[in-house]
Amino acid sequence: MKAEQLLFESVRSGLKSLYGLDTSTISFQKTRKEFEGDFTLVTFPYTKETKKSPEQLANALGAFLLENNAQVQAFNVVKGFLNISLSSGFWLNFFETVKSNSSFGFQKAQSTGKTIMVEYSSPNTNKPLHLGHIRNILLGFSVARILDANGHTVIKTNLVNDRGIHICKSMLAWEKYGKGETPQSSGLKGDHLVGKYYVEFDKAYKKEIVQLIEQGTSKEIAEKEAPLMKECQEMLRLWEKGDEKVLKLWNTMNGWVYEGFDVTYKSLGVDFDKIYYESNTYLRGKEVVQQGLEKGLFYKKENGSIAIDLSADGLDEKIILRGDGTSVYITQDMGTAVERFMDYPQLNQIVYTVGNEQDYHFKTLFKILEKLNYTWAKECYHLSYGMVELPEGKMKSREGTVVDADDLIEVMYNTAKATTEELGKVDDFSATLQNREYGRS
């Protein structure tokens, strides 16, 4: 029952019980911010028939409501205005009834006929989601809802970076140091387990670099020649060749991560209409690179890598395919953009929700797509925002210096619960509501 309806019935009952007045002309307004209360009843219209002053009438009705309506927690009177405060239990029960109604409180404008895709989250499958991802997710999801409310058809997408050298780092570390550990045997969420081995790789890799430097190798060469890095590069090469053993490990560990991601997304209350995987779109990207070569837009360098010169556009030379034939980030992003417009021919615009450290990357991406003569390239928009940093600096997943998303959600929930209990806001909650755990209802 809506609050106004509940109060209407109670006030009508009070007027009839106290003064024999039967009326249906009862209306409420939201209590002004400077006063305590949720809803306000103006008592002046009833003074003539009840033969009571506004203040007397308001106090009598307030007392009646407090005694006869368990959902009314308190009242106060200001010059004949009856300000009514509803209990926390009422509001919680109210939210329970509307949370499954996706259209509640949502007024949508007339259709604009425009279809906009909004990309957000875009995680890597070598680590769990963290505070930076939460900011990205909530920003992208909110923008999608706002665009939808303004009459656009919105497609919410997630681009999962599920391949590449960073993914191989977790895989190689698990293969070397994992001893068969699984989410079930460790008690860890799958994404947390995989992230653990991403950190383990970084520790072992740094030790190898130090050893090589002590032997007289320069830092730059040591980073390239470290045995672990060479093994990673070989694993990536085997992955792109379709090696059965590598693909089996990749599928297993990515499966652990996806199960973990789903739990976090549910806790945040967000969803997606379409999920793209870079393990698929990088192939489309390679096709785009080949087309660019045939058009003379791209060129092959002495080391076999493929590049484009964008210096005339105020940018730099950009490598778009490595010398060993493996793709880089922009290869995948070109393929993903092309595939999205193939999947949704009605698409008018793509909004990429990505931090400002990728500003240059997107300028380069959009310029390349434009030079490839994709008419929609100018409709690609980078929604850039400031990155989240800790007091000690930028978060680094490989070093384990991140604020984990699941931990943050749990802390916020427990803090809110403790504060609410301390203030006595749950005193009138049912046992079921008091014991409900966040994200597990």
Task: Kindly list the structural domains of the chain, giving each domain's residue range(s) and its CATH number in brackets, ordered by start.
Answer: 3-86 (3.30.1360.70), 115-410 (3.40.50.620)
Angle value at C-alpha 143, between 140 and 149, nearest 5 degrees: 145
Distance CA 105, CA 95 (A): 12
Q: Identify the bridge partners of residue 404 per DSSP, sorted by sequence position.
A: 130
Q: Return the SS3 of 7.
A: helix
Q: Are residues 406 and 189 in contact, defined by beta-carbon separation less than 8 angstroms?
A: yes
End-to-end CA distance of the chain: 22
Could you read off the pLDDT tens digit of each residue along the chain, which spans 441 residues? 477 788 899 999 999 999 999 988 898 999 999 999 999 999 999 999 999 999 999 999 999 999 999 889 999 999 889 999 998 888 888 887 777 777 777 777 899 999 999 999 999 999 999 998 999 999 999 999 999 999 999 999 999 999 889 999 999 999 999 999 999 999 999 999 999 999 999 999 999 999 999 999 999 999 999 999 999 999 999 998 999 999 999 999 999 999 999 999 999 999 999 999 999 999 999 999 999 999 999 999 999 999 999 999 999 999 999 998 888 889 999 999 999 999 999 999 999 999 999 999 999 999 999 999 999 999 999 999 987 666 665 555 445 557 889 999 999 988 988 888 888 777 766 665 555 544 444
Distance CA 246, CA 390 (A): 36
